[in-house]
Structure 1
Amino acid sequence: MTTVYYIKDAPRVTTKTITKTVHYYDMDMNELAPDFTDTAVITQSIDAATGEATYTTTDDILAGNPNPAIKGYTVYIEWEDATTDQKVTFDSKDIDTYTAYLKDAPTKTTKTITKTVHYVDADGNQLAPDFTDTAVITKSVDAATDQATFSSKDDQLAGQANPTFKGYTVIQNDPEAAATQTATFDANDVAYTIVYAKDEAKTTTKTITKTVHYVDEAGNQVAPDFTDTVTITESTDPVTGAVSYSPEFATLGFQVTPTITGYTVVNAPAEVSVTQTVSYDTASQTYTVTYKKRCIRHYNDAKWKRWGNNNA
């Protein structure tokens, strides 16, 4: 009798790797971070005789991964299987999922830069309202990259020509005050002061003279003239036009009418022997004192003889 022995065929073994992949995208499907992956390896053994399948594995869990924090982004779409564990079998398929992030809004800062021009006199008194102009600039900082961009509807600080003021002249000027400047976000407010000096007053000096002549009836000088003078200055304010005088009033003097031997005063105006108060508008004054020659009689024996003036 012969015995036949059979050796059982080895089982058919298949090893399968199941992969879980999580992508991290922005809303335009741009990659923001490296993919997260995890794998499970399961071995299937099919009995050669019975066809029964058995499975072995060292890890049948596809792990989840907490969504990474990405600067400047906030999770917007999150699939549950991206962050949770899944138990898989030999028949499970690969898992491909993603988390979508929405970019955070930029940080915006708006800054107003002001240009001010003051107009003052030499004592710091304001002569006209200040000129002002502003530039408004917005700084946007990207939430992800920290890159700054700037925008402005008007980044120009205008200037204006220095105003003119009656009776004043600029003595301290800054060309930047009247020029236009381009402002930046980092620029500081700017201020300029234009200083004006008041013009000199317009002055006119006038001399007023009092003159007294001393003459005989024929107009011949019998004594030196008397004269006295005063000086008055008229000042016109260049701004207001107001007129002032220095001094406001002055006095013209006098002298006592001289006594001249052989002569008698026959005409002497009252003003000759008194002081006179005058102002800028007073005209020079001229007076004449007239003398008459006196007659001198001498007795000569028999009769008087007249000497000198035959009209005596």
Structure 2
Amino acid sequence: MSKKLKIIVVILVLVFIAAIIFLRQTSGIYYKSYSPDGQYSCYAAVSNSFSYDGPFSKFGDQSGKVFVYDEIEKKIVGSAPVEMISSVEYSEWDETSLSSRGGYSIELPRKINSNLITKYQKSTPVLNQWSLTIQGESYNVHRNKSNRLTIKDKNEKTLLKDIKYIAQINNDSLQVLNEKTEIIYLNKHLKPFTEAIITTPPFYGVCGNVSTYSLKIVESNNYYILKKAESFTNTNFDNYKTIDSINKIDVKNIYFLNKKRQLEHDGNFPALEYVIIDFGDSFGIFEEQYGIQYFDHVDSSTSPIKVKRNGLYGYYNSTRIKYLELHPYVFNLAEIKNSNDKKGYIDRLGKEYY
């Protein structure tokens, strides 16, 4: 083989290798979303080889890759090729992977708690008829096919109709969303008044011995160690057991919901045992059952806890993180604004009303 021919062959091989490398490259971030606990995000990137930025390109779909990004370690931990990048919207998280039915499966370096996924994906059974009793007055509630409610007395006389929501809020008041999605308050006779009557229900403590609990966060050289003790009636705790430990790297502050590193409660007044972790530019919420979930911001002064991720808000363990605006609960309802700027309300089970 002549020297000139050898040079041509080498050039062709190099061009072929460069073309292969180029064909394998991707660019852009599309359809980004997060795992239920915020540990990971997933997104699609377009293949450079077939990218098209001409007229009507937004109406098409392109080949590319799906990536899983570790939000804790700040690195890509897996990827898979896809024929259409929009398929990432139909990905499903399970305890150990991100997958698409009949498509890719990307393994995760750390587990997602399956109970948390179930909580986010579960649907609440719809009751079409139930009873509502307040101070001896009993009513029948009926839900029609349009999801509107009709309230009837025991003689089946219609008292209210076309309302969207009704629930008792204390001993003698009801909270209602009318057909215009406006909050109104009713007394036990279903008569409206301006504001709900705020009453404090009587407290019935448990007689005899009740379980008492003490939790504390102990600081070591490299870790914050969560300890818990249990006793009966007295508060002399001497049997602390280690629950878990949290690495001190990047942690600016750590505390319980009382803003302290010690928490005590008992069976009469149970308290949430969440641990808030302040990383400075992000937050975590630790639960013994679920571990740590990560957020951009956490407001632990609200009940439920208000969290923020990727510019959207939600209530921890109560709602999805999907709202442009999320106001405090007024009794059973909180005002919301969704990503389409539509205002409405959400109840404490996470059901929306517009």
What range is the shorter-chain TM-score in? under 0.3
TM-score (norm 2): 0.16
- Higher relative CO (Cα under 8 Å, sequence separation at least 6) belongs to 1
More helix per residue: 1 or 2? 2
TM-score (norm 1): 0.17
More strand per residue: 1 or 2? 1
Look at both structures and tell me which one has the larger radius of gyration over its CA atoms: 1
